[in-house]
Structure 1
């Protein structure tokens, strides 16, 4: 089986629970460290799937790797190579597929409920879940590309996830581990302190009950990743 390519755009925003899931299913994967200036592959054909992780930058920034990343997504989608995006990764997917990304009126940082869209695709991806507590850390939002279907919404972000056949874009973070949550709280403490919006939790609030919250989130991630890997070539 060809490996899954996982593109990391920032050192602290690696695959997290996704790596654990892929390993447990004996699915090979290859980490492309974009943050370490590793060159993006020219073709998606050497991979069974493409995964784009998060990062603090904007897809609208003039960064040298953004155009190659968009090109890979545009190659993969019509060739039925599954694409999965987390936060920034989903924003890359939106742009590549004809959507737009813009600054959100408010930042969304911390734990918050998301609701599953009451449609056929929502039930296909999430099963019996109608809502769950997700982890958030974003200041920009995407539009749903033409031909895609809305999957998730939160109180301050209408477009939290979308799907297009076997491709899945998630604004929220389902890949979190306890270690990642704690690391982000440390590295992002200044951003949290400078963001007084009600939609931004304190460092202390974010870290409450992680031993219960993270496994519940992992359950949701497992469901989504299970559906996603079923489309791997």
Structure 2
């Protein structure tokens, strides 16, 4: 399905809850791939007063995206979001945490979020390696786009899917439906331009890649990341039409 077709999502399509952390943040490639699959995006920004649902009855899944803040910050909305993640876990609905969102998932599950003792960061493209568990699920890209100075520990009961040299825990799964990833498959070229300009001071941090390396790396590594994301979303949430068909079948059986 092309991008134009992905805009024609029916008003009664199943919804994916999208949680963003800045006024101008967008869900990027994850958002338009979900639209391509027939889902409607329910975008909320709790930091700016948006509420979060008490159940997942009205949503097919939820994605918590990243941001420049820390999962360890004391602001009330950070704690509220971390606490809220118990809702999709309780309701056994697909949950995806990206970067900050993955760190919030780790904290909800009793893990920790910390920086490296040498203050090195991952900003740019860095290699990852799938574990045996990860390889059994998907083919993984060799390098992924990162933008973080903290990482998450692996909580009790979580399964490590991918690892890295600087930050060991790059992707995890908890139960059948909850995933946390440290990298950013959602980033578009436009987003990369914006991040490297508006947060250019972070490119000077120890371990960060130069701006030129960000864009050279995208041409080399992003095609594999896009293929991975497409396969991952198939695994994670499937297609909106399939979801509606499944609900319809359950409804018919109930009758």
Q: TM-score, normalised by structure 1?
A: 0.89
CA 1:124–1:32 in 2, change beyond 3 Å: closer, same or farther?
farther
Q: Which runs of 5+ in 2 are unaligned?
A: 1-12, 248-255
Q: Tell me by how many angstroms 1:200 deviates.
A: 0.9
1:191 has 2:202 as partner = yes
- Of 114, 118, 140, which residue of structure 1 is paired with 2:128? 114
Q: Equivalents in 2 of 1:227, 1:218: separation in Å?
A: 14
Hey, what does 1:24 align to over in structure 2?
36
- Of 76, 81, 87, which residue of structure 2 is paired with 1:69? 81
Q: Tell me by how many angstroms 1:153 deviates.
A: 1.1
Q: Tell me by how many angstroms 1:43 deviates.
A: 3.4
1:138 has 2:155 as partner = no
Q: TM-score, normalised by structure 2?
A: 0.82
More strand by share: 1
Hey, what does 1:87 align to over in structure 2?
99
Q: Which runs of 5+ in 1 are unaligned?
A: none
CA distances 1:24-51 after superposition (whole Å, capped 9, x unpaired): 1111121112343323334333221111
Q: Which has the larger radius of gyration?
A: 2
Q: Tell me by how many angstroms 1:191 deviates.
A: 1.6
Q: Is the 8 A contact 1:112 1:136 kept in 2?
A: yes
1:158 has 2:168 as partner = yes
Which contiguous aligned blocks of 4+ residues in structure 1 show a shift greater than 6 angstroms?
none
Hey, what does 2:113 align to over in structure 1?
101
1:174 has 2:188 as partner = no
SS in structure 1 opposite 2:58? Answer: coil
Q: Is the 8 A contact 2:106 2:153 kept in 1?
A: yes
- Of 182, 198, 201, which residue of structure 1 is paired with 2:209? 201
Q: Equivalents in 2 of 1:74, 1:102: separation in Å?
A: 22
